[in-house]
Structure formats: structure tokens, C-alpha cells
């Protein structure tokens, strides 16, 4: 832009500019505007470019552009601030574009770094893990639980065979057994990672809780209360202690050295299956009376929140990473999603009721997806009839159509994904927190399936 765009007082000649635009309808650059519709003023564009250069750390280049054009100085000297492009405006506009792209992308499941301004963004179904890429068969009985480490490099599983296994992922994203943790006298119902991923805690069924070192696989410490077994376990948010749900429906807390922490909370009405602590350490979360999730404020010891209104028994729950959502599995085959700060739950209405859902989890980009295993007792029961070998193979093939992993979007009413492959009930699923395209499932068939992207899908 030359100085002729300004009058003797240095003010921008808006009338002359409009007249110039009318006489040059096919030459936007000469009109002082850009874009096919002439909506972007050339002066604004130059200011945006300068702002972008500064954001990229190229202040010298931005200063050179300013000296060459003089646009910013002249506009800032003679126009009120409300008529000028605000600082970092280009960043704001570009971020808004990416946010809009994410919002309207039905299956959005890529990291922000994989998005580009060069083209409109769209994730197809192929961005959801739906293909078995590996099957792990080292357990000798039903696999009841599994969980990825926080850094996504390891997977831990527990089984009816009284063991837990720590799996390590290599550079090709294949898992192999790192350590088999043996020492429980009963089936291991749960295995959970410490916040720093250096240790795991295992919970024996109606037994003790054991702590193990991940790197060496060595046993470190046991946690128990005389005469009372444990049914679930968890970690303090900072890794400084262990939480347990007990067979007498109470909750027990220990320091890592095994000393019990006084915890004033009454016994629940139903047998506990899950306990947890929010990642900020503020709330201790457990199942209370039938159909209740109780949030206990750790500072006051009083009940801080209650998420009530479920008429049916809650069998398990899962917290989102940001502590805003809690996912409930009910005995009536339903899954309900609650926004914790609201009184009313958000419920999935399109969940196919093909069997008892076992454990669900959040996963994918920004925990936008829900994954769950399931069990169809009716189909499983039919296998008790005596069949020929060929008929049995056919029945097992039919069974795999019902014993599946389901994936839904958390907020959008899309058809659920169904992941087929297991020949036994799918007890638990875990979504890799780092690799958005990796999911693991544990089954009564004694296997663990690792799910990845199906490149044939679009």
C-alpha cells in the first residue's frame, strides 16, 4: 500500500478506497482488498502477516515488513484501537478454524499436531481402532482385567489363573511379556498402575493387595486387614498410598509402608467393586448404597457429592482423565454417562442390549469415545448342549458375533462400532492414553486382543 491511500492528515481515505474498488472490480490487489469476494482488506492482511511472524519468533522479519509498508504504524497512529486488528488475531482465527473442523468431524481421533490448514479436516471410520493387530495368549485362564500405563508403553493384565502380567511394547508397537507376577493364592481381579508407572498394585479376589516394581518385577509390599479380604484397589493421586474396597463393604486406605490411614466412611449397602481417587486428590470415589456413587471430600471427611438416581445396581465405574465425567455400568445391561457437576445423567440410548456389559472406559481424542466389553449369557448358555465338532465350530463362530467390543462417541449419536474376534465374554477394555489408535480387550477365552487401525476402511 502506498502513501496515496492516506490524506494530508495521514488518515486513511475510506471514500477514495471505496470508489477505487468500484472502478477496479476485477483486480482485488489494486483495490486494496484480497480474496475472491474482496472481503479481506490488504492493510489488515499485512498486519496479520506481521503478527504471525512475531508469533513464530521472526520479529526481525516482521519489523522489515513494517518498514517496507508502514501500514501498522500509520493505522495505529490515526485510528482508534477498535478499528485495528488485535494482536495475535491471526493465531486466534486459525485456532478457531481448527476447532470448527474438529467439531464437525464425526470420528475425530487424531492429535492436534496431525491437523493441517492446507485442507479441510475430516476423520473417517478408519481412524477408530477396529482391527486385531496382535493376540496375546500367555494367560492360562480367563483374563479379567487390563490397563495401559499412563505413558502408553506398557500394558498390565490380571487373570483367573492367579497371575498378573506386565507387557512391554517395542518400536513396532508389538507387545511381549516383560514380567509375570506370581504370588496370589486366588484369582487376580485387578491390576493398576502407580501415577509414575514405576509400580503396579494387584488385588487378589477376597484376598490381599500386593505392590510390585515394574522394572524388576519384584514383589515389594502387601496390604491387608485381619479377617477382611479386598475386592478392588486403587492408588492415591500422587502415588503415596493404596486404596481398597473390602469384602465387608468398607474402604481401607494405607500409606505405602503399610500403615493404615483412619478413614471415616460407613459401610455401603452393596459389595464394592470399584474405588478410585480423582487425579487432583480431592475426592475419594466409591459405590455407596444401591444405585449410588459417593464422592467423599478427603479434607473434611464428609460426603461432598452424591450421584444418585440410578435405580439399578452399579457394577463398575470409570472416571474420565479430567474428572468431569463418570461412566457407570449397570446390572441391567445399560451404560450411563454422568457429567459430575450436573444433577441429571447423560445416558446412551443406542447401546445394543446383547448381554451384560462388564467394564467400560473412556478413550480416543480428548476422551471422546466410550468402549465396553460385553457378555451374552443366553448365547453362552446354549453351548451347554452336546454338539458335533463341526456344529460346535459353527456355534463358536456365531458366538463371536455377540461377544464383542463396542465403541460409541461420547456426545454424538452415531452408530456404535462393533469389534468382533473374541470367543468368550469380553470382561474389560482399555484405550491407550498416548496412541489414540490402540485399544486392548480382555476375555474369558484367555486371550488379550490389541486393536489397531483397519486401513481398508475409509
The pLDDT, as a whole number, for residue 277 is 93
Q: Would 23 be classed as within a structural domain?
A: yes
pLDDT higher than 50, residue 93: yes
Over residues 263-281, the mean pLDDT reads 72
* Residue 56 domain boundaries: 13-87
Q: Would 18 be classed as within a structural domain?
A: yes
Take residue 164 and report the three cell numbers written for it: 498378573
Of residues 139 and 72, more confidently modeled: 139
pLDDT tens column, 152-187: 999 999 999 999 999 999 999 999 999 999 999 999
Q: Would 75 be classed as within a structural domain?
A: yes
CA–CA separation, 244 and 270 (whole Å): 15
Q: Would 80 be classed as within a structural domain?
A: yes
CA–CA separation, 2 and 15 (whole Å): 16
pLDDT higher than 50, residue 134: yes
In whole angstroms, how far apart are CA 70 and each of 59, 63, 66, 74, 368?
Answer: 15, 10, 5, 6, 47
DSSP H or E stretch at residue 379: helix 377-382
Q: Do you know the residue count of the chain?
A: 458
Report the interhelical angle of 59-69 vs 71-78 (nearest 10°): 70
DSSP H or E stretch at residue 61: helix 59-69
The pLDDT, as a whole number, for residue 136 is 98
CA–CA separation, 231 and 184 (whole Å): 13
Q: How many structural domains comprise the chain?
A: 1
For residue 291, name the pLDDT band (cuts at 50, 70, 90): confident
Q: Would 68 be classed as within a structural domain?
A: yes
Q: Would 374 be classed as within a structural domain?
A: no
* Contact between 275 and 250 (Cβ < 8 Å): no
Q: Would 53 be classed as within a structural domain?
A: yes
pLDDT higher than 50, residue 148: yes
CA–CA separation, 213 and 200 (whole Å): 7
Of residues 11 and 76, more confidently modeled: 76
* Contact between 184 and 145 (Cβ < 8 Å): no
Task: Report which DSSP code applies to 54.
Answer: H
CA–CA separation, 429 and 417 (whole Å): 14
Over residues 345-366, the mean pLDDT reads 68
Over residues 146-154, the mean pLDDT reads 98
pLDDT tens column, 7-25: 444 333 434 333 333 333 4
Amino acid at each position: 500500500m502506498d502513501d496515496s491511500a492516506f490524506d494530508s492528515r495521514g488518515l486513511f481515505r475510506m471514500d477514495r478506497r471505496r470508489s477505487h474498488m468500484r472502478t477496479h472490480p476485477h483486480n482485488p490487489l489494486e483495490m486494496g482488498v484480497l480474496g475472491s469476494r474482496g472481503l479481506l482488506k490488504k492493510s489488515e492482511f499485512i498486519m496479520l502477516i506481521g503478527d504471525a511472524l512475531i508469533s513464530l519468533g521472526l520479529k526481525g522479519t516482521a519489523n522489515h515488513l513494517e518498514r517496507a509498508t508502514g501500514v501498522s504504524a500509520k493505522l495505529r497512529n490515526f485510528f482508534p484501537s477498535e478499528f485495528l486488528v488485535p494482536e495475535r488475531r491471526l493465531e486466534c482465527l486459525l485456532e478457531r478454524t481448527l476447532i470448527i473442523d474438529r467439531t464437525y468431524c464425526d470420528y475425530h481421533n487424531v492429535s492436534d499436531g496431525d491437523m493441517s490448514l492446507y485442507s479441510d479436516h475430516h476423520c473417517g471410520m478408519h481412524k477408530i481402532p477396529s482391527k486385531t493387530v496382535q493376540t496375546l495368549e500367555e494367560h492360562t485362564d480367563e483374563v479379567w482385567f487390563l490397563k495401559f500405563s499412563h505413558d502408553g508403553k506398557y500394558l498390565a493384565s490380571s487373570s483367573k489363573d492367579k497371575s498378573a502380567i506386565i507387557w512391554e511394547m517395542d518400536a513396532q508397537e508389538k507387545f511381549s511379556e516383560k514380567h509375570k507376577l506370581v504370588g496370589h493364592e486366588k484369582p487376580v481381579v485387578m491390576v493398576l498402575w502407580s501415577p509414575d508407572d514405576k509400580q503396579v498394585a494387584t488385588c487378589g479376589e477376597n484376598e490381599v493387595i500386593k505392590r510390585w516394581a515394574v522394572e524388576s518385577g519384584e514383589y515389594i509390599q502387601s496390604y491387608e486387614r485381619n479377617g477382611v479380604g479386598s475386592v478392588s484397589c486403587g492408588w492415591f493421586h500422587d502415588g503415596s498410598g493404596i486404596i481398597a474396597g473390602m469384602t465387608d463393604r468398607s474402604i481401607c486406605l494405607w500409606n505405602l509402608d503399610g500403615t493404615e490411614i483412619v478413614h471415616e466412611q460407613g459401610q455401603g449397602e452393596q459389595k464394592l467393586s470399584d474405588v478410585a481417587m480423582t487425579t487432583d486428590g480431592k475426592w475419594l470415589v466409591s459405590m455407596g448404597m444401591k444405585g449410588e456413587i459417593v464422592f467423599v471430600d478427603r479434607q473434611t471427611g464428609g460426603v461432598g457429592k452424591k450421584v444418585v438416581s440410578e435405580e439399578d445396581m452399579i457394577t463398575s465405574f470409570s472416571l474420565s482423565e479430567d474428572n468431569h465425567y463418570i461412566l457407570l455400568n449397570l446390572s441391567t445391561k445399560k451404560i450411563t454417562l454422568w457429567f459430575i457437576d450436573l444433577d441429571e445423567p447423560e445416558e446412551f440410548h443406542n447401546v445394543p442390549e446383547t448381554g451384560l456389559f462388564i467394564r467400560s472406559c473412556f478413550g480416543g481424542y480428548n476422551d471422546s469415545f466410550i468402549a465396553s466389553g460385553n457378555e451374552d449369557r443366553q448365547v453362552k448358555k446354549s453351548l451347554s448342549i452336546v454338539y458335533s465338532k463341526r456344529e460346535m465350530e459353527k456355534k463358536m463362530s456365531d458366538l463371536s458375533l455377540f461377544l464383542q467390543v463396542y465403541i460409541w462417541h461420547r456426545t454424538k449419536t452415531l452408530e456404535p462400532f462393533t469389534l468382533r474376534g473374541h470367543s468368550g465374554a469380553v470382561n474389560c477394555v482399555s484405550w491407550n492414553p498416548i496412541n489414540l489408535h490402540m485399544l486392548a480387550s480382555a476375555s474369558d477365552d484367555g486371550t488379550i486382543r490389541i486393536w489397531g487401525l483397519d486401513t481398508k476402511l475409509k
